[in-house]
Structure 1
Amino acid sequence: MAELKLPDLGDNVSSAVVVGVLIKEGDSITAGQPVLELETDKAVMEAPASEGGTVSKVLVKPGDEVKSGQVIAVLGEAAEPAAENKPAPTPPPTPAPAPVSPQPSSTPAPQRSVAPLPSAPVGQRRLIPAAPSVRRLARELGINLLEVVGSGPAYRISENDLRRFALGEAPAAVAAQPPSAPAPTLPDFSRFGPVRREAMSGIRRATVRSMAQAWSTIPMVTQFDKADITEMEALRKRINPRAEKRGAKVTMTAILLKIAAAALKQFPKFNASIDTATNEVIYKEYIHIGVAVDTPTGLLVPVVRDVDKKGVIALAAELGEIAAKARDRKLTPEEMQGASFTISNLGGIGGTGFTPIVNWPEVAIMGVSRSSIEPLWNAEKATFEPRNVMPFSLSYDHRLIDGADAARFCRFVAEMLEDPFLLGFEG
């Protein structure tokens, strides 16, 4: 007999919800074969088996919350699968005499408050939180998910919800989850005019938690600077035809990745983390940089690894791939962990500057705004010249980084942007 344990879910991912069990008792599986379909705050993924064997017992079911290292199945001699344990592809023709109730993953509280499902205004589509396996089952049963009330967190629809709906039962009330910390009571906004409510997506809930933690943990300061990118922008346009032959498009973000890697080597404090439990500074010998990506479901931050070891064109190709995966919500937890620094580029949208929030446990983040043509003084010619100037900012953890360090870091980045020749030496 051997225990099949859930593999590591990744940094900052403490648990996940089982949305599909891909094995059953008696199945023969191999190492690496997907056994569970899991949903975290930011991604839906498949969990592979750590070893092969015959499934003797499955210990989890859809709706359960699982953690890294938890035993999810037992491998050994094939057990005689009970007929009632086999999932029914379609609901029974007549409902069972006993009322169907969902199986809770934990002991229910004696008293739970409930909240109704918010409805979307006419002409707008409501976000439907349901895993791919649930959507498949809905198609098989011919159910419109817009008509189903989910009983899970943030109105997530489970397979039990679909089967209850198919049997014509009243939808279960949605449990209202208490906030993790006391919050002021909101006024009744409907007194002043029409309102509507919309459940937060998993990505937005994760953003709320991480930003609140960062804001309450890190004493942040933001340094602002500008760089004349006239020559760098001209070089970027000259390089792009060569990059396009390799299926890449060189953007300013790709160039900034390379420049930031050089800056992190020059200023290792910015590539560190603070361990307050031991009063130590952890300096990272690797350079992995997160890149904020705007997606329809919220902000995601995939990570580009070993930036210092890659050329600009290679970085541009990788950046395009992970940005597309982020927008399609196909990133795995591993692709969103391990960053030691982050870049958030809003230049494609607009703005003249902003103060990005440091992503704990990192100690710094760079924010980039839209460049514009500005008159700069040319001392040699004693005249003003039109130049392409890009504003950027650097938020940092003041517990580790002093203002002078931040100013030097920004000047280093600006000088690299202003003189493309330096990229070949420092980068």
Structure 2
Amino acid sequence: MAKEIKVPQIGDGVESATVSEVLVAEGDKIEKDQSVIAVESDKASVEVPSSAAGTIKEIKISEGDEVEVGQVIILLEESDDDDDDETEEDNGEASEEEKEKENTSEEENENEDEDSGEKQSGKKKKKIKEENPEDNDEEPEEDDADENKDEKKSSKKDESEADKTSEEKENKKSGESSGESSTGAGIQASPGTRRLARELGVDLTELAEEISGRVSEKDVKEFAKKDSQKSTRSASISLPDFEKWGSVERKPLNNIRKATAKNVTASWQSVPHVFQFDEADITDIQQYLEVNQDKAEKAGGKLTITALLTKIVASALVRFPKFNASIDMENEEMILKNYVNIGIAVATEKGLLVPVIKDADKKSIIEIATELTNIAEKARDGKLSKEDMEGANFSISNLGGIGGTNFTPIVPAFQVAILGISRSAKKPVYIDDEFKPREILPLSLSYDHRLIDGADGAAFINWITQALEDPYKALLGA
């Protein structure tokens, strides 16, 4: 009789999920608690185990199907071992009945041989003959015992062979369920490694071509890291024939655009972004900029909100060192840096460039303003060197000169946060029992949730907001 394998309770409040992968195939022999399908819901991604051992008769679902808790997903022909167990139980019950009959016979035949062992032996032999009238020769009890021993040895041998091939079967099932998919047919890898490969989008077939032997979780992580650096997912998307709808013109991407596309794609794929927003009242700080503009111009620069924010952010990075760090997932470490280098995004005709202000925490606002003016000119003239664009720990992107109320910048590679600045605007602010016109600056903070939590992000942007509203806060390092 076929046994039904159903979807168990996946998680609290989860009533349905989508089948992301079928890990077995019809005809496969599986063990109890062996994973048969993988499902994904809005709360979890798990593998569903079989509630029994046996041979798969029918798979009632396929990848992409929506399944509910309690739904039948597989029909299973239970293994012979289970049937043997049931037979043994039946034999046990029959044996108990025989014993009762034998005890009754013993009481009725008290005058016979007192050796109970001989009586039982004789009765058993007699019973065997009665049940098997075709058998003319009696078999001694030793033969029965030998047969039981042989059966046990055969059973143990079968179990041993099953243990040896269980891993191969698991790999085969995962491969057969997806053909030439990312699970990789016939590749030696544990279920945990296969699950990690699915989560990171790693094709085990491609990975197996680069290594020999069993694939480990470390191999998957290293391959995912290299894959994200050498290519983008967009490259694998097949474009339609746009000429069907009209004439087109193709232009090659310049090197800056190629690098930008590669870097932002890698960052977006590997960094779990969180976005934090705030507004700063910069009415008073604008007066500060106007009063000190002459000093900056004499030094060869221009005092701007970007220059002031660079100094404020530098002070913030000293106070909040995790924002001045990088995360090393391969070694599971946080790299804290004892220097403060800030990248400043500059728009050019060829694309976005990000020159770096080195040791920003040790420079004055006037020094930063002068350096910003110089590197911005070099960027627009295409004269930035490789050294000018290396070593940033944090970045600032100011779109205020172009427009917009808010945006969500992508965290650059090897950094954990970036601050976006939008166009300021006059807004009525309730102060001293009345509304007053104030210049309000929108701020957007993007950060890497692997290292920075929401409370950290809120504290960081809150400190920057307060420093903008009180310039002396940043100057004094308070």
TM-score of the aligned structures, taking structure 2 as reference length? 0.51
- 1:283 aligns with 336
SS in 1 for 2:236: coil
In structure 2, how many angstroms separate the alpha carbons of the residues matched to 1:218 and 1:256?
25
SS in 1 for 2:441: strand
290, 293, 297: which one aligns with 1:244? 297
- 1:209 aligns with 262
Please show how residues 84-163 of structure 1 align to structure 2 within 5 Å.
none
> What are the superposed Cα offsets for residues 368-410 of structure 1, whole Å, 9 maximum, x if unpaired?
00000000111xx200100000001100000000001000101
Give percent identity, aligned residues only: 51
AA aligned opposite 1:349: I
> What are the superposed Cα offsets for residues 321-375 of structure 1, whole Å, 9 maximum, x if unpaired?
1111111111111110100000000011110000000001000000000000000
AA aligned opposite 1:396: Y
402, 406, 413: which one aligns with 1:353? 406
- 2:439 aligns with 388
- 2:456 aligns with 405
Specify which structure has the bigger relative contact order, considering alpha-carbon pairs within 8 angstroms and separated by 6 or more residues.
Answer: 1
Structure in which a larger fraction of residues adopt helix: 2
- 1:256 aligns with 309
1:241 deviation in Å? 1.3
Judge conservation of contact 2:232–2:265 (CA < 8 Å) in 1.
Answer: no
- 2:393 aligns with 340
In structure 2, how many angstroms separate the alpha carbons of the residues matched to 1:245 and 1:360?
36
Say whether 1:376 aligns with 2:429: yes
1:179 deviation in Å? 6.7
Q: Which runs of 5+ in 2 are unaligned?
A: 1-229
392, 409, 418: which one aligns with 2:469? 418
SS in 1 for 2:331: coil
In structure 2, how many angstroms separate the alpha carbons of the residues matched to 1:293 and 1:421?
27
AA aligned opposite 1:351: G
The aligned length equals 248
AA aligned opposite 2:416: V
Judge conservation of contact 2:231–2:262 (CA < 8 Å) in 1.
Answer: no
TM-score of the aligned structures, taking structure 1 as reference length? 0.57
1:180 deviation in Å? 6.0
Q: Which runs of 5+ in 1 are unaligned?
A: 1-177
AA aligned opposite 1:372: A
> What are the superposed Cα offsets for residues 232-285 of structure 1, whole Å, 9 maximum, x if unpaired?
011101100122122111011000000001110111000000111211100000
Structure 1 runs (4+) greater than 6 angstroms displaced = none
The RMSD of aligned alpha carbons is 1.4
Judge conservation of contact 2:272–2:448 (CA < 8 Å) in 1.
Answer: yes
Say whether 1:299 aligns with 2:371: no
In structure 1, how many angstroms separate the alpha carbons of the residues matched to 2:472 and 2:310?
16
1:423 deviation in Å? 2.8
Bigger radius of gyration among the two: 2
SS in 1 for 2:284: helix
1:424 deviation in Å? 2.4
SS in 2 for 1:274: strand
- 1:226 aligns with 279
Say whether 1:268 aligns with 2:324: no
